[in-house]
């Protein structure tokens, strides 16, 4: 293309010229390049509608869009501050719920929450996970919520509860 646009140095142009004199394949390729370049260059412009300026002006003169309203940092829950990535919160919640499930399955004879500090911690963790999941925009939040409900039922129905 540099050759077709005459952007090569005199020496380079001479070398290409001499090669083209003996190579039919390159001559054909060069002609194809030139022909396609001409066809592309001949593509006409299109015209925008006359209302384009009015639309542009109206949009430009509008007040700039305000950022989504978020609670001040001081009002946010400490747990959220430890998980600054919103997308990660439901996964963290799901992980906590999973840990709790494993604990409940492996140790079905866990004493009632009021009698065991460990169970209280699990319940608090699940509650916290549920709250975080509910506050998240991620669809996982709903799933975690349902997991919580199922866990609550199974835990209440467990022996010793």
Partner 1 sequence: MKITQGWRLLQSGTQSDEALVERCARGDESAFKELFDRHHRMVYNLAFRMTGNHSDAEEIAPEVFVKVWRKASEFRGQSRVSTWLYRIAANMAMDRMRSARTTKEVFWEDLAPVDKEMPDLRQATETPEDAAMRREDNRILAAAIERLSADDRLLVTLYHLQGCSYAEIEDITGISQVNIKSKLFRARRRLRDTMVTTQKGDAPDDVQRSTTTTDGFHFAAALQS
Q: Which residues bind partner 1 (CB under 8 A)?
A: 1-2, 32-33, 36-37, 39-41, 43-49, 52-53, 55-57, 59-61, 64
Comparison of 59 and 106: residue with beta carbon closer to partner 1: 59
Comparison of 53 and 95: residue with beta carbon closer to partner 1: 53
Length of the chain, in residues: 161
Comparison of 2 and 149: residue with beta carbon closer to partner 1: 2
**Least gap, CB of 23 to partner 1 (angstroms):** 17
Residues in Cβ contact with 125 at an 8 Å cutoff, skipping those fewer than 6 apart: 96, 99, 100
Residue 8: which region, alpha, beta or left (left: phi > 0; alpha: psi -120 to 50)?
beta
**Least gap, CB of 13 to partner 1 (angstroms):** 17
Which pair of structure tokens corresponds to residue 35? 């022909």
* 3-class state of residue 100 by DSSP: helix
**Least gap, CB of 38 to partner 1 (angstroms):** 10
**Least gap, CB of 34 to partner 1 (angstroms):** 11
Q: How many CB atoms lie within 10 A of CB 83?
A: 16
For residue 88, give Cα distances in angstroms to 110, 132, 155.
Answer: 30, 10, 26
Comparison of 54 and 87: residue with beta carbon closer to partner 1: 54
């Amino acid at each position: 293309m540099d050759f077709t646009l005459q952007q090569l140095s005199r020496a380079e142009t001479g070398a290409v010229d001499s090669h083209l004199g003996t190579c039919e394949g390159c001559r054909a390729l060069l002609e194809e390049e030139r022909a396609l370049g001409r066809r592309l260059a001949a593509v006409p412009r299109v015209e925008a509608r006359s209302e384009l300026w009015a639309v542009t002006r109206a949009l430009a003169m509008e007040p700039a869009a305000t950022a989504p309203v978020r609670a001040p940092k001081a009002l946010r829950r400490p747990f959220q501050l430890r998980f600054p990535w919103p997308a990660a919160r439901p996964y963290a919640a799901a992980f906590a719920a999973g840990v709790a499930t494993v604990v409940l399955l492996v140790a079905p004879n866990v004493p009632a929450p009021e009698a065991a500090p460990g169970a209280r911690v699990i319940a608090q963790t699940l509650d916290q996970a549920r709250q975080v999941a509910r506050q998240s925009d991620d669809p996982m939040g709903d799933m975690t919520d349902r997991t919580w409900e199922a866990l609550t039922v199974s835990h209440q129905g467990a022996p010793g509860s």
